[in-house]
């Protein structure tokens, strides 16, 4: 909460109990002017937040009573008790809403560069498989984050319109629910001039039905360290994609309901039950082999892998025809992704020779990875899974052939610890972020990502195994070949 909001909250709490005092009555005009001025200043310079509506109502009631020279508790004992209880309830509600959905501060990137961003429409040669309109070719919105030295450009607002409205739509909230995010300051400058230099490229794939661009804290830090990040928005499978001039495509619930059906639910339940009671590696693999290859999430990975391949195909074109000309090192391309996006990048890394290294952040590796061998540098970064969480990745990656295959985990983290969600929703019971401090989780993740890609794209020596000396919450080790 801002200082003005805190002051309004304090006054809303204190005034009802002091309206009958002689000091208030003697100076009620001055006090009324002060209270009204404070509210106007807060509205003009900060704007109102819907979370504070209960507090505003009490505050406005107090202004009215001050002007009228009346007391809040001018009634009988029982009514006084009821008024007091209702007052406390309203104020606590307003405080909790403001606390749970705060105007948060993103971590300040620590790298030598500032961060710029531009949005691209990517036209593919693929027919749009998630709609039934003939001739509807698949398009993607891609956000390019890049290093800049500009310091005076216009700072980007937090989340685009499609991200905000889609996020509200996901939880059946009014579409303007997240407009208060205008108050959140990012570290990203709109359409800034790219810094001099030739930077490696990282392709990022988001989680399923998530805010594709809701990874500011993580990506801003990575970019500040000297990387270009191509942030894909997988159309119809993020919360929303906004195409110019004003065409918003939200998550396609109809398509999901048709394909992620009861048959898929039964498949997942039966395979998991067999997996949990399996006595050895062979039985576990037999239990989930069909699930890994044919579950709905595997279909998503197939679709998103195509999106990634299309991005890779067009990178050389962009490096010669856009602001990236002379700044994108197309010989150094890595991929990383979160959740479902982590699965997609695993498949893309396996099948695309132009991709050199990859990181799966807390995603299950769907598809046929278990039947083949991944011989490129790879890292799986997991959240702190519960003891009874089935580790399908132990089967999916059992054929890892590379000596540079890392398994890492951040203790105390949750599935959303790699996103901005823990900053947006300040309640661990709802944000799935574990008990680790959100800024700390991002710091560990970004440092690991940067050191990994510096080593395997830039050839900068970095002993990843030693990172737990800096971050005790981090566990990391090399996976042995055919480590059954």
Which pLDDT band, with edges at 50, 70 and 90, does 484 fall under?
very low
Pair (228, 310) in one structural domain: yes
Query: Is there a domain that residue 433 lies in?
Result: yes
Q: Give the integer Cα–Cα distance in Å for 140 and 241.
A: 8
Q: Contact 187/115 with Cβ under 8 angstroms? A: yes
Q: Give the integer Cα–Cα distance in Å for 250 and 253.
A: 9
Pair (135, 67) in one structural domain: no
Query: Is there a domain that residue 402 lies in?
Result: yes
Query: Is there a domain that residue 106 lies in?
Result: no
Q: In this structure, what token pair is assigned to residue 446? A: 């970004």
DSSP H helix total and E strand total for the chain = 16, 13
Pair (69, 163) in one structural domain: no
Task: Decide which of 100, 133, 162 is a domain's last residue.
Answer: 100
Residue 483 confidence (pLDDT) above 60: no
Pair (266, 217) in one structural domain: yes
Q: What is the CATH number of the domain that holds 371?
A: 3.40.50.1820
Half-sphere exposure of 453 (CA within 13 A, CB side): 27
Q: Contact 409/384 with Cβ under 8 angstroms? A: yes
CB neighbour class for 135 (10 Å; exposed up to 12, middle 13-18, buried from 19) = exposed
Pair (127, 68) in one structural domain: no
Task: Centre a 10 Å sphere on the Cβ of residue 294 and count the other Cβ atoms it contains.
Answer: 15
Q: Tens of pLDDT along 295-347?
A: 999 999 999 999 999 999 999 999 999 999 999 999 999 999 999 999 999 99
Residue 144 confidence (pLDDT) above 60: yes
Query: Is there a domain that residue 69 lies in?
Result: yes
Pair (155, 57) in one structural domain: no
Q: Tens of pLDDT along 86-138?
A: 888 888 888 888 888 889 999 999 999 999 999 999 999 888 888 877 778 89
Q: How many domains does the chain have?
A: 2
Pair (68, 158) in one structural domain: no
Residue 189 confidence (pLDDT) above 90: yes
Query: Is there a domain that residue 43 lies in?
Result: yes
What is the pLDDT, as a whole number, of residue 91?
A: 86
Q: In this structure, what token pair is assigned to residue 388? A: 């009874």
Pair (25, 149) in one structural domain: no
Phi and psi angles of residue 114, each rounded to the nearest 5 degrees, phi first: -85, 175
Section 158-168 average pLDDT: 92
- From the list 404, 399, 407, the residue with the least C-alpha distance to 381 is 407
Q: Give the integer Cα–Cα distance in Å for 14 and 30.
A: 17
Pair (90, 118) in one structural domain: no
Task: Decide which of 76, 100, 124 is a domain's last residue.
Answer: 100
- From the list 338, 300, 335, 336, the residue with the least C-alpha distance to 416 is 338
Domain ranges, residue 38: 3-100
Instruction: Residue count of the chain, please give it.
Output: 484
Question: In a 3-state reduction of DSSP, which class is residue 293?
Answer: helix
Q: Tens of pLDDT along 219-269?
A: 999 999 999 999 999 999 999 999 998 899 999 999 999 999 999 999 999
Query: Is there a domain that residue 430 lies in?
Result: yes
Query: Is there a domain that residue 484 lies in?
Result: no
What is the pLDDT, as a whole number, of residue 113?
A: 97
Pair (392, 421) in one structural domain: yes
- From the list 86, 73, 115, the residue with the least C-alpha distance to 199 is 115
Pair (41, 136) in one structural domain: no
Q: What integer best gives the mean pLDDT of the chain?
A: 91
Task: Centre a 10 Å sphere on the Cβ of residue 30 and count the other Cβ atoms it contains.
Answer: 10
Question: In a 3-state reduction of DSSP, which class is residue 152?
Answer: coil
Pair (141, 92) in one structural domain: no
- From the list 37, 17, 3, 175, the residue with the least C-alpha distance to 91 is 17
Task: Decide which of 68, 100, 132 is a domain's last residue.
Answer: 100
What is the pLDDT, as a whole number, of residue 481?
A: 60
- From the list 400, 394, 428, the residue with the least C-alpha distance to 414 is 428
**205 vs 134, higher pLDDT:** 205
Residue 139 confidence (pLDDT) above 50: yes
Q: Give the integer Cα–Cα distance in Å for 161 and 171.
A: 16
Query: Is there a domain that residue 105 lies in?
Result: no
């Amino acid at each position: 909460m801002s200082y003005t909001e805190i002051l309004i909250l304090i006054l809303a709490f204190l005034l009802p109990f002091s309206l009958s005092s002689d000091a208030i009555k003697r100076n009620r005009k001055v006090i009324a002017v002060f209270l009204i001025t404070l509210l106007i200043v807060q509205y003009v310079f900060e704007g109102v937040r819907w979370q504070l509506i209960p507090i505003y109502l009490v505050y406005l009631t107090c202004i009215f009573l001050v002007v009228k020279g009346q007391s809040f508790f001018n009634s009988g004992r029982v009514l006084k008790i009821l008024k007091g209880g209702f007052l406390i309830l309203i104020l606590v509600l307003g405080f909790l809403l403001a606390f749970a959905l705060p105007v948060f501060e993103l971590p300040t990137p620590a790298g030598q560069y500032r961060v710029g961003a531009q949005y691209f429409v990517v036209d593919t040669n693929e027919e749009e498989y998630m709609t039934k309109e003939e001739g509807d070719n698949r398009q993607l919105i891609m956000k390019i984050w890049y290093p800049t030295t500009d310091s005076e450009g216009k700072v980007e607002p937090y989340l685009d319109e499609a991200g905000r409205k889609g996020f509200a739509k996901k939880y059946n909230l009014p579409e303007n629910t997240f407009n208060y995010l205008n108050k959140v300051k990012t570290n990203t400058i709109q359409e800034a001039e790219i810094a001099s230099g030739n930077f490696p490229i990282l392709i990022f794939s988001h989680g399923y039905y998530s805010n594709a661009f809701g990874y500011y804290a993580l990506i801003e830090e990575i970019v500040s360290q000297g990387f270009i990040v191509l942030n894909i928005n997988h159309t119809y499978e993020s919360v929303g994609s906004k195409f110019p001039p004003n065409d918003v495509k939200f998550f396609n619930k109809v398509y999901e309901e048709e394909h992620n059906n009861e048959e898929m639910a039964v498949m997942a339940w039966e395979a998991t039950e067999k997996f949990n009671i399996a006595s050895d590696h062979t039985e576990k693999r037999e239990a989930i082999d069909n699930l890994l290859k044919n579950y709905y999430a595997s279909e998503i990975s197939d679709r998103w892998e195509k999106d990634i391949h299309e991005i890779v195909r067009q990178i050389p074109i962009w490096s010669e025809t856009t602001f990236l000309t002379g700044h994108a090192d197309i010989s150094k391309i890595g991929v990383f992704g979160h959740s479902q996006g982590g699965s997609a990048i695993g498949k893309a890394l396996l099948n695309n020779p132009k991709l050199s290294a990859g990181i799966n952040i807390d995603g299950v590796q769907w598809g046929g990875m278990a039947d083949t061998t991944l011989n490129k540098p790879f890292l799986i970064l997991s959240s702190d899974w519960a003891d009874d969480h089935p580790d399908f990745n132990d089967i999916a990656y059992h054929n890892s052939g590379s000596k540079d295959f890392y398994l890492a985990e951040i203790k105390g983290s949750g599935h959303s610890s790699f996103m901005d969600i823990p900053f947006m929703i300040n309640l661990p019971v709802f944000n799935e972020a574990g008990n680790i401090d959100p800024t700390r989780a991002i710091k560990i993740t970004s440092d690991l990502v940067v050191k990994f890609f510096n080593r395997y794209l830039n050839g900068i020596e970095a002993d990843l195994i030693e990172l737990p000396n800096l971050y005790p919450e981090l566990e990391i080790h090399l996976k042995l070949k055919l480590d059954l």
